[in-house]
Homo-oligomer: A and B are copies of this chain.
Amino acid sequence: MAKIQSGENSTKKEAIIQKAAFLFKTKGYSATSMRELADSLGVEAPSLYNYIGSKSELLQSICSKMANEFHLNLDVVENNTATAVAKVEAIVRFHIQKMLNNFDEVFVANHEWKHLKEPMLSSFLNQRRNYEKRVMAVFENGIEKNELRITNPYVAVLTILSAVRGLEFWYGHKKNVTQEELENEMVKNLLNGIVK
């Protein structure tokens, strides 16, 4: 009953979360059973509850971890880049890199958040709305400073972030392209239609 959170258990917990992210991505949160998760870790289902509180807690860990990382990056970008164009490029590159390097967790945060329970659901949606506003502000600033040749910042943000996020639909069947090529080519495609 007592859940011990020692260093070793934290590692175990991290392993459970990682495997959960993989399964939630592959089969969806609802279609993934705790027995299945336990199986893939080589234990029985009840054993999991020595390390975690519940199935929904696993989802929550993944979603809030991702939300924090994206917000943290935005802090860095806002402070360390000069022009709006540089900010946009830095944001796009971070999104591409997270998508390629933390695929399972990003995918789950993008798709399975709707299975979060209140109040975490509201909190997650608030954070996301906040993130979008901050990105939008970067674009608006770029218009003001005459760096971007877009007329509608809302549509531009929608178009660009969606294009990057769309990497998830193609994950697994990318042929003949290295991660570097993909990133550079995509940035070029997207920015050349925007940067003056």
Question: Which residues of A approach B to under 8 Å, CB–CB?
Answer: 26-31, 110-111, 114-115, 150-152, 154-156, 158-167, 169-170, 174-177, 181-182, 185-186, 189-194
Q: Are A189 and B156 in contact (CB under 8 A)?
A: yes
Interface of A is mostly: helix
CB closest residue in chain B, given A170: B158
A162–B174 alpha-carbon span in the complex (Å) = 14
A31–B114 alpha-carbon span in the complex (Å) = 11
A186–B154 alpha-carbon span in the complex (Å) = 10
**A140 to nearest B CB, angstroms?**
13
Identify A114's interface contact among B28, B150, B185, CB under 8 A: B28
Q: How many copies does the complex hold?
A: 2
Identify A155's interface contact among B27, B169, B185, CB under 8 A: B185
Q: Are A158 and B167 in contact (CB under 8 A)?
A: yes
Q: Are A189 and B181 in contact (CB under 8 A)?
A: no
**A159 to nearest B CB, angstroms?**
5
CB closest residue in chain B, given A173: B129
Which residues of B sit under 8 angstroms from A177, Cβ to Cβ?
A: 152, 154-155
Q: Are B163 and A159 in contact (CB under 8 A)?
A: yes
Most buried by B among A111, A154, A162: A162
A151–B176 alpha-carbon span in the complex (Å) = 13
Q: Are B167 and A154 in contact (CB under 8 A)?
A: no
A182–B159 alpha-carbon span in the complex (Å) = 10
Q: Are A181 and B166 in contact (CB under 8 A)?
A: no
